[in-house]
Structure 1
Amino acid sequence: MNKFYTAQEVADKLKIKKTTVYELIKRGELSSSKIGKQLRVSENQLKQYLDSATQPASVQTQDYQPESSLLKRDYLIHSSGLIISGQSSPALDLLLNQLPAQEGSLPVLQSHMNTYNGLYSLYFEKVHIACATASFSDIQSLVPGIPLAALTFYSYEIGLYIKKGNPRNIQGFPDLQRADIIFANREKGSSRRVYLDRQLSKLKISPESISGYRNELVSDFSTAAAVAGGQADIALGEAYAARTFTDLDFLPLGTETMYLVMDASHFSEPGFRAVADTISSEAFRKALALQTGYDTSHTGELNNF
């Protein structure tokens, strides 16, 4: 018989917070069922989630297709709506929740894409605004020939997820080559994957020497869950995701910045201005900093290039 668990029981099994269980369900990474008015996760659904941590990229990508609403997307791109690309995050969720109250705002559709896929879509005019963690030179190389405006969204710590107490004595990237270490990687095109591959290149570490390098997951919450659940020993991601798992420690490596990138010629148009006005407001910056711990001291600043 298929057993059903409450959100708290799932949290206890995965050694995470109950709010993280709801976050995983909201992101579509953990399936759930409604029994009466109560949300429950079946034993099979939980097993599918745990198994996904070790599936190869081809399987992950096939199941993760948030771009299925092509007709709706094409309707918005040719009408009065905005399409913002970006993987689900507390910052983007907060922006989308507050935008409708801003004067001049337009209907918004979120296109769930990582940094590089979002920038390519911006270049091919499939989205209006792309969330991107990348240097200005990288952004320009992916969106050539277009004058760009980049609003600073927030800055955050990036580092390594490891088990509480660091039982494997992991110190940094060189440890990825150890035979007793399994890595939980992110998908190609994500800023985490780009950061990792550049560090490996600097250190002259071959990806083929890393167990788990080819097993790709589609969010920091997924890689953090893989480490917390014992499917991996280490992963790369932002500090916010690590803080939601009680069984993880975080080894900081540096700071990254998320930008909202758009065609500069559209910046003065009402819908785009509404986005800029929302994130530059004091209320938004305070709410984002309190909810996530992100650095919002430069949130809303405009960079043209």
Structure 2
Amino acid sequence: MAKHNVQGKYFPLYEYLLQQEEKHVVLTFEEIEEIIHAKLPKSAYKYQAWWGNTKSGTYVQAAAWIEAGFRVDTIQYGRCIEFVKVSKEILTKKKNRIIREALISKTIPTKDTPYRESESLRNIMEKLNSAQQFFEENRYRHFSDESLLSQFEVLCECRRIFGKVDQAINYMAIQLMQQYLIEKHLLKLVHSQIKKQDEFTFIFEEQAPNGEEVAAILNTTPETLSSEFNPSQRSIFFQDCRLLSKTKATRRYYFVTDEYVYNIIEKKYKQFLESIQLILLPKVIDDKYSLHAW
């Protein structure tokens, strides 16, 4: 076992963080208190210094996350704390600021031209037409009664037809988001203005003709059947909210494409949205799928 200098009340927090494999871990104040089996002091609810990333002086609590390889990155008093996993040699305030800024700025502009956009749309239509033809030709088959070899061949054919379906979903979702923002704010959007944060996250910022700043994040995370986010999903959600809150925009939107994700946020996390409007694509045409509508 690795050596550490953690003792007393906050040792359970050290053990918990040490076991986490995610780079971002978000814990509510209540969850931290459950982990340490005690109430946090009042100063933890009021002062940033209590969450400082230093083991000097009386700040013994910081040893729990620092020794586990984390540092406190974001504080929402009375709500949650975001811990970010970093190596021991960069556990300084200055270096962490540089790393955090690098992470936030790690957005890759897409380079689609109008020609490539039409090409992408045509490819999607061809996939859908091929799928329709396949199912029409096989509508009388009962796959559950067929041999394992036959079932395998059918799945391979489906994979050939659909290919990288996630990319097609991302593309269509971006189009729907653009359509909504164009109608809402009369924006002159082009696909190249959308920045890719990761495989399932896209960011947009633009000024409307009336001078309003508009910012949006699109999250196309694959469908989940769970009633709660896993630690990774929760960290991503809080990170997205933080990125939107840091913009200068007066109109902020968070688009999702999965109804289960929408329902989880609506039931358990909508208090963290604050001035951010949550929108479900493509069901935004129904008012009940747009939270915090203005």
Q: What TM-score, normalized to structure 2?
A: 0.26
More strand by share: 1
Q: Which has the higher contact order (CA 8 A, sep 6+)?
A: 1
Which structure shows the higher helix fraction? Answer: 2
Structure ID, larger Rg? 2
